[in-house]
Amino acid sequence: MKKIIAANWKMNKNSKEAIETITELSKILNNSLPEEKEVIIFPSFISLEASTHALSSTPLQFGAQDVYPAKDGAFTGEVSPSMILDAGATWVLTGHSERRHVIKEDNTLVGQKTSFALASGLNVIACIGETLEEREAGTLYDVLTAQLNQTLAKLPTPLSPERLVVAYEPVWAIGTGKTANNEDIIEAHAIIRELLKNILGTSASQIRILYGGSVKAENAPEIIKLENVDGLLVGGASLKAESFAKIINA
Ligand code: 13P
């Protein structure tokens, strides 16, 4: 099972800047990836197609940061799975904490997005994670259980396990410079692995679980080795080709 190193660029970089960063990244990487690693870039919707077209010869994969769970229709401002596939992307993020907490998406909508995207042929990184208040109230297990159960409530079958990835991103560690410590990460990832077994049975061991939240070139080598950590979802430190390349090579 290859580890996934993913770059979530959030609302940063226009098309020109996206192409420049990806071009620089593939130069640093000599247009090849370390064995046993997959790299996925999530540019903004507006620069997604330009990125995939300009860089179709790189080993990088691309994804969208969000998706709407309908084929087409009167959904102003939204983007469908087929539009994302048409733009040359194969992955999508669902349930990112900024969509849950800033845009106020709930577990039901995140579940609909996850199942519809998978059924439409996109691969999904479904994000879950607790807030600081939830952690301090001792509700980590309950929060992860509710988020994961509802996110994966209606998965299409059959589903190849490599098409579904779960990202654990504690909200208090995102963009704050505070990384969860090793014990926190091991505990949360073990909970997620156990929950995945309840939902998916034996194929749960093949679902990759990524950690995200203030991952940097300095802490990536240690985090990537932890038990049940099958990759990293990187925000701020993925915006510069040099630091993201170091994380890819960690
Ligand atoms: P930072 O790496 O900037 O903390 O962001 C993490 C994240 O939200 C990735 O999806």
Asked if residue 44 has pLDDT above 80, the reply is: yes
For residue 223, CA distances in Å to 98, 115, 175, 213 come to 23, 29, 17, 11
Residues ≥6 apart with Cβ < 8 Å to 91: 40, 42, 61, 62, 63, 64, 122, 123, 124, 125
Whether residue 175 has its Cβ less than 6 Å from ligand 1 = yes
Question: Which tens digit of pLDDT belongs to each residue from 194-250?
Answer: 999 999 999 999 999 999 999 999 999 999 999 999 999 999 999 999 999 999 999
pLDDT tens profile 46-88: 999 999 987 767 899 999 999 999 999 999 999 999 999 999 9
Running DSSP on this structure, what letter comes out for residue 175? Answer: S
Reported as a single tens digit per residue, the pLDDT across 6-39 is 999 999 999 999 999 999 999 999 989 999 999 9
- No. of H helices and E strands in the chain? 10, 8
125 three-state secondary structure: strand
The alpha carbon of 176 and the centre of ligand 1 are apart by a number of angstroms equal to 9
The per-residue pLDDT for 58 is 82
Q: Give 157 Cα–ligand 1 centroid separation in angstroms.
A: 31
| Mean pLDDT calculated for residue range 170-183 | 90
**Ligand 1 touching residue 185 (CB < 6 A):** no
- Cβ-Cβ contacts under 8 Å for 138 (sequence gap 6 or more): none
